[in-house]
């Protein structure tokens, strides 16, 4: 705490300003080197990196005491910026959506975790960039019950793998995930209508989502394969 009359800025504000400006600057250096990027996209990239840095600095997310923390910040501001921009939007949506930021799994972990917040499907957490939303599902993340501990493990392993995938593959992760979702989903629709019309929705979901290599990796990392929601006939390794 600051003393009465102390005009120094709180550490969180200093970190937010510093990391925000540094992130924007690093992004600008990268997009400036790519002369083919249109000016509006340059502005969007710099803005997304700056906002990510400012929010992450204010929340004390990056672990500056380790080289890994610096690397995560650098990748989030450059190579992984497309999905990180989606994470910035998640922050904005969760600011008006019923949510609860969970500092216990966020501070100095190189990621943000919202216990509640926006999700596409009930009980399913979603991850964009370095932001995990709806992490608590229907159990929450507080307490020491077996259900809560299992949920925390899922966030650490499964959703943590998605954060890692974005930092490793950057735009290839976003494009690859999206392409698989569309193309495999279309194939699943055809297969479902031809081979299991009664459960065609489950076939489509299995093709498009569960069999997505990025999801397969995350589910296997969490030790939960095959998932209960997947179609037993069309999920990877169904016969093993």
C-alpha torsion sign, points 172, 132, 203, 211? positive
| 27-51 pLDDT per residue, tens | 999 998 887 788 889 999 999 999 9
Distance between CA atoms of 77 and 30, rounded to whole angstroms? 9
pLDDT at residue 9, rounded to an integer: 67
**pLDDT < 70 positions in the chain:** 1-9, 238-240
The answer to whether residues 112 and 87 touch, using CB atoms and an 8 Å cutoff, is: yes
Burial class (CB in 10 A: 0-12, 13-18, 19+), 113: buried
pLDDT at residue 35, rounded to an integer: 78
| Radius of gyration for the chain, computed over Cα atoms and rounded to the nearest angstrom | 20
Give phi and psi for 200, each to the nearest 5.
-60, -30
pLDDT at residue 98, rounded to an integer: 77
Distance between CA atoms of 179 and 185, rounded to whole angstroms? 9
pLDDT at residue 237, rounded to an integer: 83
pLDDT at residue 6, rounded to an integer: 58
Closest CA to 39 of 50, 30, 31: 31
**Tokens 């990056």 correspond to what residue?**
62
* Region of residue 52 (phi > 0: left; psi between -120 and 50: alpha; otherwise: beta): alpha
Burial class (CB in 10 A: 0-12, 13-18, 19+), 234: buried
Q: What pTM was computed for the model?
A: 0.93
């Amino acid at each position: 705490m600051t003393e009465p009359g102390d005009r120094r800025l709180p550490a969180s504000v200093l970190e937010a300003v510093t990391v925000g400006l540094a992130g924007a600057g690093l992004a600008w250096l990268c997009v400036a080197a790519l002369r083919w990027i249109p000016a509006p996209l340059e502005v969007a990239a710099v803005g997304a990196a700056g906002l990510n840095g400012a929010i992450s600095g204010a929340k004390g997310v990056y672990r500056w005491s380790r080289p890994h923390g610096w690397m995560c910040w650098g990748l989030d501001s450059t190579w992984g910026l497309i999905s990180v921009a989606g994470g910035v939007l998640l922050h904005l949506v969760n600011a008006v959506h019923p949510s609860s930021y969970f500092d216990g799994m966020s501070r100095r972990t190189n990621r943000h975790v919202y216990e509640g917040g926006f999700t596409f499907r009930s009980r399913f957490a979603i991850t964009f960039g370095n932001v995990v939303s709806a992490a608590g599902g229907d159990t929450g993340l507080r307490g020491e019950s077996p259900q809560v501990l299992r949920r925390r493990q899922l966030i650490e392993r499964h959703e943590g793998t998605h954060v890692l995938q974005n930092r490793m593959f950057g735009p290839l992760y976003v494009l690859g995930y999206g392409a698989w979702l569309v193309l495999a989903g279309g194939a699943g629709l055809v297969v479902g209508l031809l081979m299991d019309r009664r459960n065609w929705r489950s076939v489509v979901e299995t093709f498009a989502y569960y069999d997505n290599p990025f999801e397969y990796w995350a589910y296997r990392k969490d030790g939960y394969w095959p998932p209960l929601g997947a179609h037993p006939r069309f999920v990877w390794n169904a016969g093993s």
